[in-house]
Amino acid sequence: MSQEILERRYRRLLACYPYAYRAAYGEEMLAVALAAARPGARWPDPGEAADLIFTGLRRRLGSVRPASHDPAWRDAAGIAAVIGPIVMAAFAVTPNPGPGRWQYFPTASFSGIIVAALWFAVAVAGMLRWRRFALAGSCVLSAGLIYEFSRAALNEPNKFGVFGWKVVFAALIVGSALLALKSKPHLLSWWAAMATAAIAMLLAVLPAIQSGLPGAGSFAAMNSYMQLQTLLYEALPAGLVLVLLIIVVRQKAGVRSRLMIMLGAAAATFAFDMAAFSGLLSIEDPLNYPPLGPGWWQSPAVMVAVPSSALPSA
Amino acid sequence: MTDKVLQEPAFLVLTALAGGPQHGYGLVEDVLRVSDGQVRLHTGTLYAILDRLREGGLIEVDREEIVESRLRRYYQLTNAGAERLATEADRMQRNASAAASRLQQLPPRMRLRPEGGMA
C-alpha cells in the first residue's frame, strides 16, 4: 500500500522530465528510485526529490533551443521580413479615420506614399538579402510608427487601440529582420514577392489615383466611383490575403507552421481591428471605442505573445 | 565530452560498469561500494550521467529485461568507454603519485600521516 503511494508520488516528480524522455526512461528511473527508498516510506526522500526536479527541469530546458539557433525559425523570419513590409506598405495610406468620422475612402497623403515607398524598399532589401539594411530600415520605420501612434494615443486615445495591429506588425517585422540576419538565401521566389507587391502597390496608390480622377472631391463623382471603390477596397485586401496564404502553404512543413504562428498573431489583431470598424463586433461608433476596451489590451497582449511563441521551438 | 575531464560520479559509474553490465539500481549500489560509501547517486543524477556517457559513446545498452513487470535496462562499457576509463585512471594515478612524492618532501612535522591515506 505504502509502496503504491510512494510510486504515485515519484511518478508526479518524474513529470518534471519532458514527455519523450519519460516515455523512454521513466519506468526504469521509477524502479531505481523505489529500490533506493527506505522500506515502508510513503514520501520520496527529499534529496532524491530535489534531484529529480532539478535534473528533470534541466532536461526540459536543455531540449529548448532559442529561435535564433533554429534554422526553420530563421527561414520563416526571412520570409516574414519580406512580406511583412509589403503588407505595411499596402496599408501605409489606407485606411485612416478622419476627424470625427470614419473615412472609408481615404484621401491621398504625400507622407503616406513616402512611407509606403520606404516599406517597399525594406521588402526589396529583404529579397536582395541586404539583411542589415532591411533591419535598419524596419527599425527606423517602426520607430516612426510608434512615435505616430503614441502621439495619437495621447491626443485621441481611441485611435491607438484600433490601429494597434500596425504596431504588432512592426514589432514582428523588426524581430523577423533580426532573426533573418543568418537565414538561407532564396527563401521566397521573386514571383511570389512580385505578386504580393503588385497588390500592395495598388492598395497604396489607390487613394492617389482616386483624388486624381476627373471631378474628384465633388459629391457626384464620389457617388459614381463608389461601387468601383467598394469593390477594389474589398477585393484587393482579399487578394493580398490569398497570395499570402499561398506563400505560407507552399513552404516546408517546419517553416510553414512557424510562419503561421508569426503571421497568425498579427493577422488576428488585424482581423479584430477590421471587424471592429466594419461593425461585425457591434461596436456602434468605432471612434468612441472604450479606451480600456479590447483594442487596448489586444495589442500589448499580442506583442508579448508573438515573441514569446517564437522563442521555444521544442 | 571526450576531451573534458570525467567528473567523479561519471568516473565511478564507468568503474562500476568495468565490472560487467549493470542495471540502474545495481549501479547505485556498486558506486556506493566502489567509493567506500562516499558517493550515493540520486536517480536524476545517475540518469543524467548515463545520458552523457551514452551520448559520448562510452556506454551502451546491453539488454533489457522485465522484472516484476518493470523494465530493467542493463548498461555496459563500450571499447571507447574502457579506453577512456583507462586514460582517466592513468591520469589520476599520475596526479596521485605526484601528490604523494611532493608530500614526501614536506618537513617531517607536516607529514600528518606518513603511511599515506590514499583511498
B6-38 residue pLDDT tens: 888 999 999 999 999 999 999 999 999 999 988
A142 and A161: one domain?
yes
A23 and A117: one domain?
no
Structure confidence by residue, pLDDT tens digits, B45-91:
999 999 889 988 999 998 888 887 788 899 999 999 999 999 999 99
CA A183 to chain centre: 19
A75 and A204: one domain?
yes
A112 and A56: one domain?
no
User: B24 CB near a chain A CB, below 8 Å?
Assistant: yes
State the pLDDT at residue A190: 86
A173 and A195: one domain?
yes
Decide which of A62, A92, A110 is a domain's last residue: A62
How close B71 gets to chain A, by Cα (Å)?
Answer: 6
* Residue among B42, B46, B68 with most chain A CBs within 10 A, to mutate: B42
State the pLDDT at residue B2: 46
- pLDDT at B101 exceeding the cut of 70: yes
User: B71 CB near a chain A CB, below 8 Å?
Assistant: yes
Closest by alpha carbon to A165, among A65, A101, A246, A237? A237
State the pLDDT at residue B108: 77
A91 and A29: one domain?
no
If you measure CA to CA, which chain A residue comes closest to B68?
A31
Reported confidence tier of residue A65, pLDDT bands at 50, 70, 90: low
**What does the alpha-carbon distance between residue A93 and residue B52 come to, in Å, rounded to a whole number?**
58
Decide which of A16, A36, A62 is a domain's last residue: A62
A142 and A218: one domain?
yes
DSSP A312: -
A106 and A56: one domain?
no
Phi, psi angle pair for B63, to nearest 5°: -160, 165
If you measure CA to CA, which chain A residue comes closest to B41?
A48
- Kindly determine whether residue A29 and residue B43, on different chains, have CB atoms separated by under 8 Å: yes
Cell numbers placing A59: 532536461
If you measure CA to CA, which chain A residue comes closest to B43?
A33
How close A4 gets to chain B, by Cα (Å)?
Answer: 14
How close B11 gets to chain A, by Cα (Å)?
Answer: 19
Kindly report which listed range (A51-60, A273-282, B29-38, B100-109) carries the lowest average pLDDT score: A273-282
Question: For A222-228, what is the mean pLDDT?
Answer: 66
Place of cell 491626443: A155
State the pLDDT at residue A213: 62
State the pLDDT at residue B112: 64
Q: Which residue has the higher pLDDT, A66 or A29?
A: A29
List domains and CATH numbers for chain B.
Answer: 8-105 (1.10.10.10)
State the pLDDT at residue B96: 93
Kindly report which listed range (A88-97, A135-144, A262-271, B69-78) carries the lowest average pLDDT score: A88-97
User: B63 CB near a chain A CB, below 8 Å?
Assistant: no
State the pLDDT at residue B1: 45
If you measure CA to CA, which chain A residue comes closest to B49?
A55
Q: Which residue has the higher pLDDT, B41 or A207?
A: B41
Cell numbers placing A115: 512611407
Structure confidence by residue, pLDDT tens digits, A161-218:
556 677 778 888 888 888 888 777 777 888 888 888 898 888 877 777 766 665 555 6
Phi, psi angle pair for A65, to nearest 5°: -105, 140
How close A81 gets to chain B, by Cα (Å)?
Answer: 37
For the entire predicted model, the pTM comes to 0.53
**CB-CB neighbors (< 8 A) of A47 in chain B:** 42
A38 and A120: one domain?
no
User: B48 CB near a chain A CB, below 8 Å?
Assistant: yes
- Enter the ipTM: 0.81
User: B34 CB near a chain A CB, below 8 Å?
Assistant: no
Total domains, chain A:
2
Question: For A267-272, what is the mean pLDDT?
Answer: 72
State the pLDDT at residue A66: 58
Closest by alpha carbon to A159, among A13, A8, A289? A289
By residue range, what is the domain housing residue A302? 67-310
- pLDDT at A157 exceeding the cut of 60: no
A150 and A208: one domain?
yes
Phi, psi angle pair for B11, to nearest 5°: -60, -45
Decide which of A19, A43, A62 is a domain's last residue: A62
How close A27 gets to chain B, by Cα (Å)?
Answer: 6
A247 and A116: one domain?
yes
- Kindly determine whether residue A32 and residue B45, on different chains, have CB atoms separated by under 8 Å: no
A271 and A284: one domain?
yes
- Kindly determine whether residue B24 and residue A30, on different chains, have CB atoms separated by under 8 Å: no
